[in-house]
Amino acid sequence: MKNKGRVLTAILILTVGLLIGCGSSSDLSDSVNQIYSLITELSEEDESEVAVAGQDEPSDEAAVVSQNEPYSEDNVEEENIDSVEYGGILGWVVNVENEDEKIEGAEVTAVSTATGETETITTDSSGYFELILAEGKYTLTVTTQGYEDYIWPDGNDFQNPVVVTNEGVNYLDDWIKMTPVKMSRKNYYDSEGTLVYYEVYAYYDNGLLCSSTLYQVYYSSFSEGYYSSGEYTFLYLYDEDWNMTDIVLDALTISDWFDESTGEIILGYEYDAEGKSTKIFIYPETESIEQEKFGVDSSKTEEIYEDYPVVTTEVSSGWAAAYLKDIFAGDEPTDMTECRLIYVNDDMVPEIWMDYGYGYAGAEVYTQNGNSTDCVYFDHGYAEWIEKENLLWTGGGSMDEYYDNVYQIQDGEFVSIGSGVYGAADNANVQYDEQGYPLYDYYWNGVEVTEEEYEGALSSVFDETKAESSYQNIYTYKQCKLLLQCIS
C-alpha cells in the first residue's frame, strides 16, 4: 500500500509524543487531530485497494524494467520508492538557564551522515519537535535568534550521531538546552529607515544585565556619517546573592535637561513656522523610546547580538574599594562628569576613564593594583585603548597645538612608550600650503620629524584599527560610584 510504512511511522511517533507529555490541552488536541488525520488517510488507501480487488495482477514480466532502458521516473517501480524504511526523532528545546522556558520557533535540522541530505522542522509553542526520517544516522543542529547555535550532543556524553531505525522512535537522551546570547545593541529607525536612536548594553561577568544606555543620533551637513550624544543610562544593582536591589536612572546630558524629581528628560525641541519651540521629553522609567511620537518606526527596530562590554565582579585585589577611596571620596567634579570601566591590560582589574565634560576641564584615566592608584591626564582630547593588550592612547589639542601619547601599565603605573606633538611654530601667524592646509612642525619623542615619519612612529606603537573608543556604555559619576559600591 502506497506510503503505508511512513504513515504508520508517523502515527507511532505522534502517539509516543502524546504519551510522553503535551505542553497544554491545545497541544493534546492538536496531536489527536494529527493522528486522526493520518488514520483517515490510511483508511482511504485501504478502501482504494479494496475497490480494485479482483482485477488481474500485473505479470512479473510486465513489472520488470529492462536494464537497457534509460532511467526515468516512469520506468521505476513504485514499490521501490515506497520501500524506504522510516523512523523518527523527537525532543524538546529549552533555555539552559531556565528549563521551564520552552523555545518556540527554533529550527531543528537533521543531516544524514551517509547522504548529506537534510530535513528541517520548527519547534512548536511548547518547544517540541518531531522529525520523520529515513533509516540511518544523523547529526542535529538547532538555531534560533537570541541563542547560540546548538550542535547535538553539545559536549554531553549522548548518542552521536543519532540513530533512526525503521518504525522506531528515538526519544533524545535529554532536552536540547540552548544558551542565550546577550543583546549588545538595539537600533531604532524612523519611517524612512534612518537611524535616530540606539541603545547599548553592558553585563556583569555572571551574565546579569549591568546597564543600558540610550543615545540620540545627530547628522552633520559637514561630514559623512553621524555622531551621538548619550541621553540617559539605567544602572542595575544587585545584592551579594545577586538579587536585584535597585535600578538607577541618570542622565548623561547637561543636568538642566534631566529633572530628577519628576524623571523627565528633554530629548530636544520642535519648532513651528514662527520659530516657537516645543520641547520633546520622555519619562524613561515608564516610557519606551520606541514610539511614533519620538519619530521611531517600531517595525524597523533592529536587535544586534555581538560582543558587549563585561564588568568584572572579581574583588580579591580590593580594586573597587581602592577606587572608591582614591577618586570617589568627594563630590562630583562637574555636572557633566562621565565615567566608564575599561580594560587596558589583562589583569581583570578595570581602569576608570573619567571625562569632566568640558574640553578645558579635561579627562583622566585611572589604574591601580590594589595598593596605589595612578592616572594620566589629558585635555581637549579623548582616549582609545587596545583591550587587554596593555596599550592606551590619548590625544587632542586646540588652536594649532596637538599631541599624541601612548602608554602601557607597568607595576600599577602608566609608563609612556611614545609621545609626539605637532602644530604651528607660531599659532598667531599660521602658514598654509597651496592646498590650504596648515604647515605644522612635528616632533616624536622630542626629535623633529616629517609628517609621514610622525604618523609611522605613532602607528608602530599603537594600531588604531584595533582600538576601542571610550564613548560607549558611559555612567554618570553617581552611577559609577554606586556600581563600585555594589561590586565591593
From first to last of the 488 residues of the chain, give the pLDDT tens digit.
Answer: 445 445 444 555 555 454 444 444 344 445 545 544 554 454 455 444 444 444 444 444 433 333 333 334 444 344 444 556 888 888 899 998 888 899 999 999 999 989 999 999 999 999 999 999 898 999 889 999 888 899 887 666 667 788 888 877 777 778 889 888 888 999 999 999 999 999 999 999 888 999 999 999 988 777 677 777 778 999 999 998 899 999 999 988 777 788 888 999 988 888 888 889 888 899 999 999 999 999 999 999 999 888 888 899 888 778 999 999 999 999 999 888 999 999 999 888 899 999 998 777 899 999 988 788 999 999 888 899 999 999 999 999 999 999 999 999 999 999 999 999 999 989 889 999 989 899 999 999 999 999 999 999 999 999 999 998 766 678 999 999 999 999 88
3-state secondary structure of 164: strand
pTM across the whole model: 0.68
Give the pLDDT of residue 37: 54
* Cβ–Cβ under 8 Å, residues 162 and 151: no
Sequence-ordered strand ranges (E) for 295-431: 302-304, 310-311, 338-342, 351-355, 363-368, 373-378, 381-386, 391-398, 401-410, 413-423
98-102 and 176-178 strand pairing: unpaired
* Cβ–Cβ under 8 Å, residues 320 and 203: no
How far is residue 364's CA from residue 371's CA, in Å, rounded to a whole number?
19
Give the pLDDT of residue 15: 52
Element (H, E) at 171: strand 169-171
Hunting for cell 488514520 — which residue is that? 39
Give the phi and the psi of residue 351 in degrees, each rounded to 5: -90, 160
Give the pLDDT of residue 473: 76
Distances from the Cα of 306 to the Cα of 92, 178, 184, 186, 486, angstroms? 27, 17, 6, 11, 26
CB atoms within 10 A of CB 368: 24
Give the pLDDT of residue 57: 45
- Chain CA centroid to CA 42, Å: 48
**Rg, the chain, Cα only:** 33
Give the pLDDT of residue 82: 53
CB atoms within 10 A of CB 400: 15
Distances from the Cα of 100 to the Cα of 162, 167, 177, 466, angstroms? 25, 31, 11, 41
The CA-based angle 252-257-260, given to 5 degrees, is 80
Which of 311, 278, 284, 303 lies closest to 214 in space, CA to CA? Answer: 284
342: cell is 575599561
